[in-house]
Structure 1
């Protein structure tokens, strides 16, 4: 397969960039993710995940000659993190620190691991709760509509119909409200 910069690569219209996304995830989502066809990436919520963000507590830290390996734990499980960056990059992370990690998911032989792009201690405990809420919100928005999500969050169709009804009422101030 040709890289986007190789001479054999197909030209992109108007300087179009390849799609990238940043998905908030937790350990459970990574544990249940499937390997994307033809590569080391994974599929999360029916889409190929380019970059992921995860918040958790550093359980273990192991420095090797090529990288620093961490085991990160959150409320749903554990994830393997590998930091190949220069050791002088970023803030020092220690065991028991609560950190935010941004990186790419990799599947070699076995479970998913994250290759770090950015990693630093969180600045506020609110960041952990916000991340957990963000994970749930994105999972809700990206999963197909089903009975469980309708019961838990309400039907998006009802919200759209209500918005349309309100918009039409605002357009016609003399219109009677529906019974």
Structure 2
């Protein structure tokens, strides 16, 4: 009986881990993000170098907390766009347009118990832009980082994990044997 209880607690912990680590999904009422959505934002599809989904937030350079929310990240030859769903307007909007020339550096941050989760940190003169990826999205994070580095953005090794503003509401689970 005790073995079954431990297994059940383990399965619950895994479920919570995958649901609470972060979610890059958009609300169900958000329409599919496609070429028409991108054109409506004034971004030319032919100019797109990379497009990913990530949790996105902007904070001060020395902060370790950001308001992370689902975003489509689009990189063109000269800018990086963060697109979010505006619930009130019922449409996608450019939350942030960041010219590549304004970016000072980019860093790939590994965190989690085994370094198994990734964030991409983009610094400007006054802010830190965070792209946070969930479990299983390491290749996506590394591709986003590499695409910026390949565009000539200076690579930085100095950066630290930035948590979401609501992460303090997560109650940690401890399982004993």
TM-score category of the 2 structures, normalised to the smaller one: under 0.3
Larger C-alpha radius of gyration, 1 or 2?
1
More contact order relative to length (CA 8 Å, sep ≥ 6): 2
